[in-house]
Structure formats: C-alpha cells, structure tokens
Amino acid sequence: MVVPTDELDACPFCRLDPQAPLVYEDELAIAMVPPDPINKYQVLVIPRRHYVDFVDIPDDLASHLFLLTKRLSQAVRDACHPDGMTHISDDDITRCGLNMLSHYKIHIIPRFRDEHITIDWAREGSPGQIVRKQRSDEIRAAYLAIVQAGRL
Ligand SMILES: [Zn+2]
C-alpha cells in the first residue's frame, strides 16, 4: 500500500522527536514508552519505515519486530514484575477509526491485577463445532489461495 505523503508528514513515528526517550533502536526499528501510555511500563515496538497494515510488512522485518517484541517483553517483565502481559497491534483495514495512529506498531502492555485496564473482547458466544469447522475451512481455503498465488 502506498501511503500518502501528507500522512507520512503528519506521522509522529516518521517525524520522530529527536528528544524522544527510546527503550531501543536499530536500523529497522525503535521501541519507546509512548507519550500517552496505557500504564507506566507500556512499550511500543515500531518499524522505522511507515507501514499501515501487518500484512504489508516484509517477512524479514516482521520477524525482526516479533523477536524484538519477545526480548523487550522479557525486559518489561524484569523491570516491573507484572501479573500478566498483553501483546497487541491493530490494522484499520477500511480506515474507519479502529486505529488512532496508522503507523504499524506492536503494543507490549504489562498487566497488573490491581489496575483497571480492560480490553473488552465482546465475545459472540460459542458458535458450535459445525460453524467453527466452516470458518476454519473458509480461512484455510483463503490461506491456501494466498500461498498458491505467492501473495505473502
Ligand atoms: Zn509513520
């Protein structure tokens, strides 16, 4: 996907404040405590290049980002001794506002039992084995089509 120039110009991760305190940096990625963190030990793992959707990230970079997330997740564990960890990212595919900032990032969020951070997954209830199999077959067929077409 080609990102419009004005979106890149307005992107705080593409126009990174040189004074921004970083947890980590290399030629491909940075990691930072965000300016408006969910809690005081949240870390964002961010590719230096502007990607919007996870599926657009080249395999080598995606691997790098996940290994970096794994290592920094351990660092966050050691730094703040949480009760749990959440690792999450968002693709706002139709640009309907599901992602506050389009630049792809992975959130590392330590969870503490006495905090009141909620992630409302609003589950639809169990669809049952037949529907689960239908959905599995649908997704498997889509995956095989992607592989056969060499799209990923
Ligand atoms: Zn950006």
Ion ligand 1: residues, CB within 5 A, are 11, 13-14, 50, 103
49/40 Cα distance (integer angstroms):
26
pLDDT, tens only, 13-38: 999 988 999 999 999 999 999 999 99
Distance 112 CA to ligand 1 centre (A): 30
Distance 131 CA to ligand 1 centre (A): 39
Mean pLDDT within 70-77: 98
pTM for the structure as a whole: 0.88
The CATH number assigned to the domain with range 5-121 reads 3.30.428.10
Structure tokens at 110: 């330590």
